[in-house]
Amino acid sequence: MPTSTFNKSFPTITKIETFIPAAGGDGGDYHRQKDGHWILDGGKPHADKAGVKCGISNPMSGWEQYRENRTSWGIDVLGSLVCIITASDGTQGVSTGFGGPPACWLIEQHFARFVIGSDPRDTNRMWDQMFKASTFYGRKGLPVAAISVVDLAIWDLLGKIRGEPVYKMIGGRAKDGKIPFYLTGPEPTHARKMGFWGSKVALPYSPRDGFDFVRRNLDFLQKHREDLGDDFPLMVDCYMSLDVHSAIQLAQGAIDRKIDITWWEEVLHPDDFDGHKILKARLPQVKWTTGEHEYSRYGFRQLIEGRSIDMLQPDVMWLGGLTELLKVSAMCSAYDIPVVPHGSGPYSYHFILSQPHSPFCEYIANSADGKSIAPVFGNLFLDEPVPHGGSIDVGDAPGFGLELNPAAVLIPSAHFLAPSPDKGLSRTDDEQRVAKLQQLAAVKANGINGVNGGAH
Ligand SMILES: [Mg+2]
């Protein structure tokens, strides 16, 4: 009589490939958008300058020439990538994220060795090897974002091999109903019309905009609050643009003017861990959140143990993928700190559904004016689920439930990572084919944008 029924036969990983989506709005880089998109310039007229958008307060706001639009200093410089991992039975897992060609290079040249030949169930071992082997140049930022994309493709592959959704492999359903959403965008009144429970706006003015930045920001927030009435939550994203003193000035000013703000997000530079302790000590009644630019459990350990952050917002496409997010989440659960990931579409939906201390989800408006719902990853996937009426019901499709759109043009990383001088300097047939496909995709994208008013 057998002592175990464990099935030792399981497909192994045979191939890992990386690509760049040819169409700008496709993929996991939130900021690869056309000019005029609210996420780049805030979408609001400047309070004092006619015909100028007021911008989004950010760490570069101190430089006049880079103040009005975040693409001016390169927020979109890396772009998206797509990772496809193939198993020995032919099953493929696919993911997207940000990091563009540099991330493709890291995955192909460095991380592939830890993935090829592996059992896709060995997520912890593969993650540990990728993270530790890149310690000498990694730990945070782009290298960990590249690891994240590989990790998400592995989870997608695993779900597709097993024929079950990712959330069922990480603890199962922890919520009875649908996941409720708040909207991040320029028009909170539209968020309410579309059924979201609350809305988050970008802070327009940084301390570098002048001594009266507090008044101008509070005027901006008061107008939103008046438009919304008292019963709709309003949050403020400060995108690392304040310091301890200015954050206290703003939050105290809102209290004094009775502008109800549900939370103040990412007010400080991500490395100012002690600064958060001062904020919480000075204004304990204010809800402070952060985390989207923090990486790995080591980075989050400091934020969690400080007991000064009221909600953590890791980005699953940046902090290390789902494998690392689960570890950060477990640490947070021991402190009763809610975890509400930054954006990330379906990757976040599966995580949130499985976590009792992840009460709702963020939807970052992907349409140019923030007034309609568009897929988070553009046209990269077929039928990407999006929130309807302010909520989503995660289906039972295997993996993350994302199938690549055959119409999405993917440029193989070999085309830009491995130039081959012995083939000559003229374009190969293959390259000409890709160039032609890119042209077609651009024509198609323009056509779609024409219909949707730039929503892409
Ligand atoms: Mg944010």
Q: Is the pLDDT of residue 456 over 50?
A: no
More reliable by pLDDT, 69 or 144: 144
Question: From ligand 1's centre to the CA of 184, what distance in Å?
Answer: 9
The pLDDT of residue 236? 98
Question: From ligand 1's centre to the CA of 390, what distance in Å?
Answer: 19
Q: Is the pLDDT of residue 130 over 80?
A: yes
Q: How confident is the model at residue 448 (pLDDT cuts 50, 70, 90)?
A: very low
Single-letter amino acid, residue 356: P
Helix (H, G, I), strand (E, B) or coil at 220: helix
> Which range has the worst mean pLDDT, 112-116, 183-187, 218-222, 417-421?
417-421
Rounded mean pLDDT, 393-401: 95
Measuring CA to CA, which residue among 245, 240, 282, 281 is closest to residue 264?
240
34-50, pLDDT tens digit by residue?
A: 888 888 888 777 666 67
Helix (H, G, I), strand (E, B) or coil at 182: strand
The pLDDT of residue 366? 87
Question: From ligand 1's centre to the CA of 341, what distance in Å?
Answer: 10
Query: How many angstroms separate the first and last alpha carbons of the chain?
Result: 59
Question: From ligand 1's centre to the CA of 200, what distance in Å?
Answer: 9
Question: From ligand 1's centre to the CA of 63, what distance in Å?
Answer: 21
The structure's pTM equals: 0.90
Helix (H, G, I), strand (E, B) or coil at 312: strand
In whole angstroms, give the CA distance from residue 148 to residue 315.
10
Measuring CA to CA, which residue among 176, 171, 264, 174 is closest to residue 217?
264
Question: From ligand 1's centre to the CA of 238, what distance in Å?
Answer: 7
289-311, pLDDT tens digit by residue?
A: 999 999 999 999 999 999 999 99
Question: From ligand 1's centre to the CA of 264, what distance in Å?
Answer: 10
Q: How confident is the model at residue 432 (pLDDT cuts 50, 70, 90)?
A: low
Pairing of strands 179-184, 199-202: parallel
182-223, pLDDT tens digit by residue?
A: 999 999 999 999 999 999 999 999 999 888 999 999 999 999
Helix (H, G, I), strand (E, B) or coil at 403: strand
Question: From ligand 1's centre to the CA of 364, what distance in Å?
Answer: 9
Question: CA 127: distance to chain centroid?
Answer: 19
CA distances from 221 to 22, 91, 187, 251, 317 (A): 38, 50, 12, 11, 30
Question: From ligand 1's centre to the CA of 138, what distance in Å?
Answer: 23
Burial class of residue 283, CB neighbours in 10 A (0-12, 13-18, 19+): middle
Q: Is the pLDDT of residue 450 over 50?
A: no
Of all residues in the chain, what percent carry a pLDDT higher than 90? 78
Question: From ligand 1's centre to the CA of 361, what distance in Å?
Answer: 13
In whole angstroms, give the CA distance from residue 284 to residue 106.
42
Q: How confident is the model at residue 444 (pLDDT cuts 50, 70, 90)?
A: low
The pLDDT of residue 424? 54
Rounded mean pLDDT, 309-321: 98
Mean pLDDT over all residues of the chain? 91
Measuring CA to CA, which residue among 259, 267, 342 is closest to residue 309?
267
215 membership: H or E segment, kind and range = helix 213-228
Question: From ligand 1's centre to the CA of 47, what distance in Å?
Answer: 23
Helix (H, G, I), strand (E, B) or coil at 141: coil
Tokens of 226: 């008046």
Residue 88 neighbours by CB under 8 Å, 6+ apart: 11, 12, 13, 14
Question: From ligand 1's centre to the CA of 349, what distance in Å?
Answer: 17
Residue 456: active-site member: no
Sign of CA dihedral 235, 53, 291, 280: negative
The pLDDT of residue 2? 53
Question: From ligand 1's centre to the CA of 187, what distance in Å?
Answer: 16
| φ/ψ bin of 420: left (φ > 0), alpha (ψ from -120 to 50), beta (otherwise) | beta
Q: What is the dihedral of CA 96, 97, 100, 102, to 10 degrees?
A: -110
Rounded mean pLDDT, 137-164: 98
In whole angstroms, give the CA distance from residue 198 to residue 237.
13
In whole angstroms, give the CA distance from residue 341 to residue 314.
5
The pLDDT of residue 354? 98
Q: Where are the domains of the chain?
A: 168-399
Question: From ligand 1's centre to the CA of 168, what distance in Å?
Answer: 28
Q: Considering 37, 224, 293, 342, which one is annotated as catalytic?
A: 342
* Class (C level, CATH) for 168-399: alpha beta
Rounded mean pLDDT, 63-91: 94
The pLDDT of residue 454? 32
Q: Is the pLDDT of residue 455 over 50?
A: no
